[in-house]
Structure 1
Amino acid sequence: MDWVEELGKICEVFPPSDAYRVDETPPLIAPEPAENFVVVKPENSVDVSEILKFANERGIPVFTRGGGTGLSGGAVPTANGILLSTEKMVEIEVDTENRVAVCGAGVTLKQLDRAAFKNGLSFPPHPGAETATVGGMIATNAGGVRALKYGTMRNYVLGLEFVLASGKILRVGGRTVKNSSGYSLLHLLIGSEGTLGVVTQATLRLFPAMKDITVLAAPFQRMEDAMSCVVEISSKMLPMALEFMERRAVEIGERVSGRRWVSREGEAHLLMIFERFDEAEEAAEIAENKGAIDVFVATGKREQDDLMAVRGLIYEGLRNEIIEILDACVPPAKIADYWRKSNELAEKYGIELVTYGHAGDGNVHQHPLIYDGWENTYFEFRKKLLELAVSYGGVISGEHGIGTVKIQELAEICPDQYRIMKEIKSLFDPRGILNPGKVVLPNHG
């Protein structure tokens, strides 16, 4: 890389530590990081512009990285080139009169939450780990447990500043909720995983301070009854969260958290979170009418924390036993059927699946456990599983993104969409320097 010294005249260049070589993608499916790359840490869009001009003129790959919390290999530098870290872009301004926060791409979710809270406001969706950055959450259109009521990142981004591969700085949107000003470049950038431009700043919508919550836990003998409960509750009110777990997931959550769930009986368990107590009461009645084994109402903070810890720590309990974490999304009314069919498919391949997820919005998390010879049959199974999700009117990724790990499925299951995405990529990034090998393959690939 004979260009490194020349790059050093534009910005400070750092050698890569091991932390920059990986994200949170499970190791068995994570892409192999490049041997040779350098790290740059720009502070603003002008710095980014200079770096991208330099890289574009020479055809050098640029991989943008936020908090490194992604699960699809999107932040892994997979070719020799430049890793652009947004960690120094941490300025934040809270405009209380217009209820927005103007954030640098490197602002973490924790920092955003704190800034909003100090100003009597909130950022309701909580779409990732607290170390996830604004830029990274925008890049993947992150969702999370509160998406049922509060939506995904797409619902909060009012304006963006981003830099094209050419170095051109663009600003789209503003501080208004409404915007019908032609094609939405703003929404095209959201979810593009760093392949169309580098987000440097975002204007995010804030809400009034959140209210106290009530948490319900309800086990059911049958998944069908649990999902019928979810559908009826969703038709009558809008909970903050409606989560589900199969029995094995509950057991894993209990083990790793050291907390107790209300019961291990039944094949399906619901965790429901409400901001209004009267809605929680009505939901409890619906659950009882749908055949819940029990309905536990947790009003004290300790009880609520115990229940949420069981659900929240399932992944930690499985981290070392899984091939990957899948995040297909299906219509909520189809979850039970999809769950049974996916288990039947897994049984044919000799695969154990652990399933839980966001019942209210249909985002199903499934963990295939490691087995001997998985490399020979797993990817065939995964394609059939994702085809099953799409056959129900679903999508292959609800919140983790495509990254490197689902490109083949995107191309084969959604060929027309994939072709148009490649054309858009070519328009924004003709030389293909931005996060190459992510979301879509190069034209010669």
Structure 2
Amino acid sequence: MSAQDSSVRATDADLPAEALAELATAIGAEHVVTGDAMNPDVFTDESLHGPGQAPGAVVRPGNTTDVAEIVRIAAAHAIPVTARGSGTGLSGGCVPLPGGIVVSFERMREIVDLDLVGHTVVVEPGITLAELNAALAPHGLVYPVFPGTDAGSIGGTVATNAGGMRAVRYGVTRSHVLGVEAVTGTGEVLQLGGPVVKRSTGYELSQLVVGSEGTLALVTRATLRLSPRLPHVATMLAPFGEIDAIAAVIPRIITSGARPTILEYIDRGTMKGLLRQNDLTLGVAPEVAEKAGAYLVVMVEGRSAEEVGTELELVAEALSEGGAVETYVLLDGQGLRLLEARESAFWMVKAAGADDLIDMVVPRAQIPEYLRRVKTIAAEYGSRVYGCGHAGDGNIHFSVYEKDTERRHALLTAIYQTGQELGGVISGEHGIGTSKKRYYLDLVDPALLSVQQGIKKVFDPAGILNPGKVFDAEE
């Protein structure tokens, strides 16, 4: 959609009667929901910004053909379309436009095919991580992307290229998507990639769709790579005097031969909040806690207790040589509760009144410098910025407490600029959506933005797919 194209109904309260009639005929009237019958949950996601807004209709397709029909009808009437899974995103990526259509994938949650030889699965986008892994467990398999909530849908995680704490071992969503079936902005159905692990045949467009936040195509099926489920787990906790020491010990752990599943950094303030919020005790002596400026949480997995024991020995040696104040092997219940508390940190900071979230990623070697600069920037603005993050891959999460809108914008701009100067990018796993769009447009290379706009026009020439996300149509 160009700046001159004003036909997209981004401000109309209702859909045209003709479009509603066509949708009812194509999908079934019972699956086209309008007015007060719409569930307000579909108006927004978990972003801290804005109360959300009502679309013109929520449409619930049952299959790929339905999705293609919805998009064709929307394109014919110039109606914006926003895909929605579980709504667990944190960047406003699935917030609809007034007068637009929300395509809710709640009816499309089937496992289409499970290949126990090739360790792949084909699923519809509405299935949640919890549902998929429950079905895989009896087969000793797991889909190892855990982005902080297992209520997230596969479609949503594909759209944002979700990561999570386990990415240091397993990688992010893109590492596991072998192919997608997707509907473009013209209603055309594309089969991209497939259930093979090697491919050197033309452009790999499936990976272009992953992380595109619903702006290029609507994913209707995803072919995913699976991993063996490792039944034995142990968690270590290591307090450090300074975060620099944590950043320095990560390479030691990796080169030791250990294969940690989680390497998670938690600063002192955030750890205190997590323990208090979750009524959790870890057995850290008071004198040790007093010395701790930050903590490293390490989780290892294995096929046997002996294998896990070997991993723990390697990690413990690296931690000791790296200057840990102390090392603790947590009891099974403690480790699980600590990781659950870390995964629920968003709810803690939201309840505490956080005004913004940052999920920037920088090269692992630059973590200390990045954290030092962020601390200085926060002090300059008189703002509170607390953090934890995936130390193994440089993905640092900050909660920002600054009520003044202009001051907060300047603060975040400075933090994002600093990260980019160190080789990082604005979002490591939550996506741009609307929450980070302003910063992205200000800081991204204009040449890169131009290429992305050109790709958008190829997939979605009328500009109806999730307009206003990632970059403005007018841009």
1:175-186 map, 5 Å: 175-186=195-206
Q: 1:273 aligns with which of 292, 299, 312?
A: 299
Q: Is 1:395 equivalent to 2:425 in the alignment? A: yes
| Change in 2 beyond 3 A, CA 1:36/1:141 | closer
Secondary structure in 1 matching 2:464: coil
Instruction: Determine the C-alpha separation between the residues in 1 that align with 2:312 and 2:209.
Output: 37
Q: 1:151 aligns with which of 155, 167, 171?
A: 171
Equivalence for 2:220: 200
Whether the aligned pair in 1 keeps the contact of 2:145 and 2:172 (CA below 8 Å) is yes
Query: Which consecutive segments of 4 or more residues in structure 1 shift more than 4 A?
Result: none
The corresponding residue for 1:103 is 123
For 2:334 and 2:273, the matched residues in 1 are separated by 18
Task: Write the distance in 2 (CA, Å) between the matches of 1:339 and 1:191.
Answer: 26
Indicate the residue corresponding to 2:81 in structure 1: 62
Supply the distance in 1 between the matched residues of 2:135 and 2:471 (Cα, whole angstroms).
Answer: 36
- Structure 1 residues 168 and 310, CA gap change in structure 2 (3 angstroms): closer
The answer as to 2:282 corresponding to 1:261 is yes
Instruction: Give aligned-pair identity as a percent.
Output: 36
1:46 to 45, 65, 75: 65
For residue 23 of structure 2, what is the amino acid of its counterpart? L
Q: Which runs of 5+ in 2 are unaligned?
A: 1-14, 302-307
* Match 2:229 to one of 209, 223, 241: 209
TM-score relative to the length of structure 1 = 0.95
Code of the aligned partner of 1:259? L
3-state SS of 1:258 partner: coil
Please give the alpha-carbon distance, in whole angstroms, between the structure 2 residues aligned to 1:238 and 1:395: 26
Match of 2:104 among 85, 109, 112: 85
Structure 2 letter corresponding to 1:162: A
Cα deviation, 1:180-217, whole Å, max 9, x if unaligned, reads 11111100000000000000001111122223112100
Is the 1:197–1:434 Cα contact (8 Å) retained in structure 2? yes
What amino acid maps onto 1:68 in structure 2?
A: G
Tell whether the 8 Å contact from 1:105 to 1:202 is kept in structure 2 after alignment.
Answer: yes
Find the aligned partners of 1:239 and 1:297 in 2 and give their Cα distance. Answer: 14
Spell out, residue by residue over 1:8-44, the C-alpha distance to the aligned partner (whole angstroms, 9 max, x if none): 2222311222111110111xx23x5344420000011
- Distance in 1 separating the partners of 2:401 and 2:177: 36
Range with greater deviation from structure 2 (415-424 or 103-112): 415-424
Residue 410 (structure 1) shift: 1.8
1:241-256 aligned at under 5 Å gives the runs: 241-256=262-277
> Take 1:95 and 1:370, find their aligned partners in 2: how far apart are those partners?
50
Name the amino acid aligned to 1:253: L
Kindly indicate whether the alpha-carbon contact (under 8 Å) linking 2:148 and 2:344 is maintained by their aligned counterparts in 1. no
1:417 equivalent in alignment to 2:448: yes
Would the aligned equivalents of 2:160 and 2:211 in 1 still touch at CA under 8 Å? yes
Unaligned residue ranges in structure 1 (runs of 5+): none
* TM-score, normalization by structure 2: 0.89
Tell me how far apart the structure 1 counterparts of residues 98 and 309 of structure 2 sit (CA, whole Å): 53
**Separation in 2 of the partners of 1:262 and 1:285?**
21
Q: Which residue of 2 aligns with 1:10?
A: 26
**Aligned length in residues:** 438
For the residues of structure 2 that align with 1:148 and 1:36, how far apart are their CA atoms? 38
**1:324-359 CA distances to partner (integer Å, 9 max, x unpaired)?**
221000111211221111011011111101100100
Take 1:247 and 1:24, find their aligned partners in 2: how far apart are those partners?
26
Q: Give 3-state SS (helix, strand or coil) of 2:374's partner.
A: helix
CA contact (8 A) 1:253 1:309 kept: no
CA distance in 1, matches of 2:250, 2:55: 50
Matched residue SS, 1:213: strand
The letter of the residue matching 2:268 is R
Please say if 1:235 is aligned against 2:235.
no
Q: Tell me, what secondary structure is at the counterpart of 2:235?
A: strand
| 1:8 match: secondary structure | helix
* 1:381 match: 411
The Cα RMSD (Å) is: 1.5
Q: Is contact 1:257–1:313 with CA below 8 Å preserved after alignment?
A: no
User: How far is the alpha carbon of 1:130 from its aligned partner?
Assistant: 1.2
Structure 1 residue 339 and structure 2 residue 371: aligned?
A: yes
